[in-house]
Amino acid sequence: MEAVTETGVGTGLVAPPTAVELRFTPSSLDLRSDLTLQAGRRRVFDALLHIGAWWPHRVHGGASIVIEPRVGGRFLENCDDGNGVLLGHVARMIMPQDFAIEGSFGIDAPVNALWRVRLDAMSHQQTRLSGRFTAFGFIDDEHRATAASEWSATYAALSHYLDA
Protein backbone atom coordinates (compact mmCIF):
# COMPACT_ATOMS: atom_id res chain seq x y z
CA MET A 1 0.00 0.00 0.00
CA GLU A 2 1.36 3.40 -0.90
CA ALA A 3 1.50 6.23 1.57
CA VAL A 4 -0.34 9.43 0.71
CA THR A 5 1.50 12.67 1.37
CA GLU A 6 -0.03 16.14 1.51
CA THR A 7 1.70 19.50 1.50
CA GLY A 8 0.27 22.26 3.69
CA VAL A 9 -0.60 25.08 1.28
CA GLY A 10 1.47 28.17 1.94
CA THR A 11 3.01 26.76 5.12
CA GLY A 12 6.11 25.12 3.72
CA LEU A 13 5.26 22.13 5.91
CA VAL A 14 4.99 18.61 4.61
CA ALA A 15 2.56 16.29 6.35
CA PRO A 16 4.03 12.98 7.45
CA PRO A 17 3.13 10.02 5.24
CA THR A 18 -0.29 8.60 6.15
CA ALA A 19 -1.31 5.08 5.28
CA VAL A 20 -4.70 4.99 3.60
CA GLU A 21 -6.55 1.73 3.34
CA LEU A 22 -9.16 1.38 0.63
CA ARG A 23 -11.80 -1.31 0.93
CA PHE A 24 -14.24 -1.88 -1.86
CA THR A 25 -17.08 -4.11 -0.79
CA PRO A 26 -19.89 -4.09 -3.32
CA SER A 27 -22.82 -5.17 -1.20
CA SER A 28 -26.41 -5.26 -2.23
CA LEU A 29 -29.61 -7.17 -1.78
CA ASP A 30 -32.39 -7.60 -4.29
CA LEU A 31 -35.33 -9.59 -2.94
CA ARG A 32 -38.44 -10.06 -5.04
CA SER A 33 -41.74 -11.54 -3.92
CA ASP A 34 -44.98 -12.30 -5.69
CA LEU A 35 -47.92 -13.50 -3.67
CA THR A 36 -51.67 -13.69 -3.89
CA LEU A 37 -53.63 -12.24 -0.99
CA GLN A 38 -57.26 -13.09 -0.29
CA ALA A 39 -58.43 -9.49 -0.02
CA GLY A 40 -59.38 -6.69 -2.37
CA ARG A 41 -56.71 -4.31 -3.59
CA ARG A 42 -57.97 -1.33 -1.56
CA ARG A 43 -58.05 -3.42 1.62
CA VAL A 44 -54.45 -4.55 1.04
CA PHE A 45 -53.36 -0.96 0.40
CA ASP A 46 -55.09 0.16 3.61
CA ALA A 47 -53.23 -2.61 5.48
CA LEU A 48 -49.95 -1.19 4.19
CA LEU A 49 -50.94 2.17 5.66
CA HIS A 50 -51.72 0.47 9.01
CA ILE A 51 -48.33 -1.19 9.05
CA GLY A 52 -47.97 -0.70 12.81
CA ALA A 53 -50.69 -3.31 13.38
CA TRP A 54 -48.80 -6.13 11.69
CA TRP A 55 -45.12 -5.25 11.02
CA PRO A 56 -43.21 -8.09 12.74
CA HIS A 57 -39.74 -6.53 13.13
CA ARG A 58 -38.45 -4.29 15.89
CA VAL A 59 -34.97 -2.92 16.52
CA HIS A 60 -36.06 -2.26 20.14
CA GLY A 61 -38.46 -4.62 21.88
CA GLY A 62 -41.70 -2.98 22.94
CA ALA A 63 -41.45 -0.15 20.42
CA SER A 64 -44.48 0.71 18.32
CA ILE A 65 -44.28 1.03 14.55
CA VAL A 66 -45.60 4.31 13.15
CA ILE A 67 -46.14 5.43 9.59
CA GLU A 68 -47.22 8.87 8.47
CA PRO A 69 -49.34 7.94 5.42
CA ARG A 70 -48.21 10.59 2.93
CA VAL A 71 -45.29 11.07 0.57
CA GLY A 72 -42.37 12.15 2.75
CA GLY A 73 -44.03 10.73 5.87
CA ARG A 74 -41.84 8.93 8.36
CA PHE A 75 -41.76 5.18 8.96
CA LEU A 76 -40.31 4.67 12.43
CA GLU A 77 -40.10 2.79 15.67
CA ASN A 78 -41.41 4.92 18.51
CA CYS A 79 -40.33 4.05 22.05
CA ASP A 80 -42.79 6.59 23.60
CA ASP A 81 -40.00 8.20 25.65
CA GLY A 82 -38.50 10.38 22.94
CA ASN A 83 -36.30 7.52 21.71
CA GLY A 84 -36.79 5.59 18.52
CA VAL A 85 -35.40 4.59 15.17
CA LEU A 86 -36.19 6.21 11.83
CA LEU A 87 -36.63 3.28 9.47
CA GLY A 88 -37.43 5.27 6.35
CA HIS A 89 -39.75 7.66 4.54
CA VAL A 90 -42.74 7.06 2.32
CA ALA A 91 -41.32 7.61 -1.15
CA ARG A 92 -44.31 6.63 -3.26
CA MET A 93 -48.01 6.42 -2.54
CA ILE A 94 -50.40 6.02 -5.43
CA MET A 95 -53.67 4.56 -4.13
CA PRO A 96 -54.52 1.77 -4.42
CA GLN A 97 -51.76 0.24 -6.49
CA ASP A 98 -48.28 1.52 -5.65
CA PHE A 99 -46.46 2.04 -2.36
CA ALA A 100 -42.77 2.47 -1.48
CA ILE A 101 -40.62 3.25 1.54
CA GLU A 102 -36.96 4.17 1.33
CA GLY A 103 -34.44 4.32 4.16
CA SER A 104 -32.14 2.17 6.26
CA PHE A 105 -34.91 -0.10 7.63
CA GLY A 106 -33.04 -0.20 10.94
CA ILE A 107 -29.83 -1.64 9.55
CA ASP A 108 -27.14 -0.12 11.75
CA ALA A 109 -24.70 0.65 8.95
CA PRO A 110 -24.48 3.02 5.98
CA VAL A 111 -27.27 1.46 3.91
CA ASN A 112 -29.98 2.80 1.68
CA ALA A 113 -32.90 0.58 0.78
CA LEU A 114 -36.18 0.74 -1.10
CA TRP A 115 -39.20 -1.46 -0.43
CA ARG A 116 -41.68 -1.13 -3.25
CA VAL A 117 -45.05 -2.84 -3.44
CA ARG A 118 -47.23 -3.04 -6.51
CA LEU A 119 -50.82 -4.27 -6.11
CA ASP A 120 -52.83 -5.72 -8.98
CA ALA A 121 -56.48 -6.74 -8.60
CA MET A 122 -57.00 -10.33 -9.69
CA SER A 123 -60.67 -10.29 -8.68
CA HIS A 124 -62.89 -8.42 -6.25
CA GLN A 125 -61.44 -10.38 -3.31
CA GLN A 126 -58.00 -11.33 -4.57
CA THR A 127 -54.90 -9.18 -5.02
CA ARG A 128 -51.50 -9.94 -6.43
CA LEU A 129 -48.73 -8.27 -4.44
CA SER A 130 -45.40 -7.81 -6.21
CA GLY A 131 -42.82 -6.70 -3.69
CA ARG A 132 -39.20 -5.77 -4.13
CA PHE A 133 -36.69 -4.91 -1.44
CA THR A 134 -33.46 -3.51 -2.83
CA ALA A 135 -30.64 -2.35 -0.59
CA PHE A 136 -27.10 -1.22 -1.16
CA GLY A 137 -24.29 -0.15 1.11
CA PHE A 138 -22.54 -1.97 3.91
CA ILE A 139 -24.60 -5.13 4.13
CA ASP A 140 -22.83 -7.78 6.14
CA ASP A 141 -23.12 -11.54 5.77
CA GLU A 142 -25.58 -11.77 8.68
CA HIS A 143 -28.06 -9.41 7.00
CA ARG A 144 -27.63 -11.19 3.69
CA ALA A 145 -28.23 -14.58 5.32
CA THR A 146 -31.40 -13.55 7.16
CA ALA A 147 -32.99 -11.19 4.61
CA ALA A 148 -35.09 -13.77 2.76
CA SER A 149 -36.56 -15.25 5.95
CA GLU A 150 -37.25 -11.78 7.41
CA TRP A 151 -39.14 -10.70 4.29
CA SER A 152 -41.03 -14.01 4.21
CA ALA A 153 -42.08 -13.28 7.80
CA THR A 154 -43.11 -9.75 6.80
CA TYR A 155 -45.41 -10.94 4.04
CA ALA A 156 -46.76 -13.75 6.25
CA ALA A 157 -47.63 -11.15 8.91
CA LEU A 158 -49.42 -9.01 6.33
CA SER A 159 -51.38 -12.02 5.07
CA HIS A 160 -52.32 -13.03 8.63
CA TYR A 161 -53.44 -9.46 9.37
CA LEU A 162 -55.68 -9.49 6.31
CA ASP A 163 -57.15 -12.88 7.28
CA ALA A 164 -58.09 -11.70 10.76
- Give residue limits of the domains in the chain: 27-163
Contact 109, 87 (CB under 8 A): no
Per residue of the chain (164 residues), give pLDDT as tens: 444 444 445 555 665 666 666 555 558 889 999 999 999 999 999 999 999 999 999 888 889 999 999 999 999 999 988 899 999 999 999 999 999 999 999 988 899 999 999 999 999 999 999 999 999 998 888 888 889 899 999 999 999 999 98
Q: What class is the 27-163 domain?
A: alpha beta
pTM as predicted: 0.81
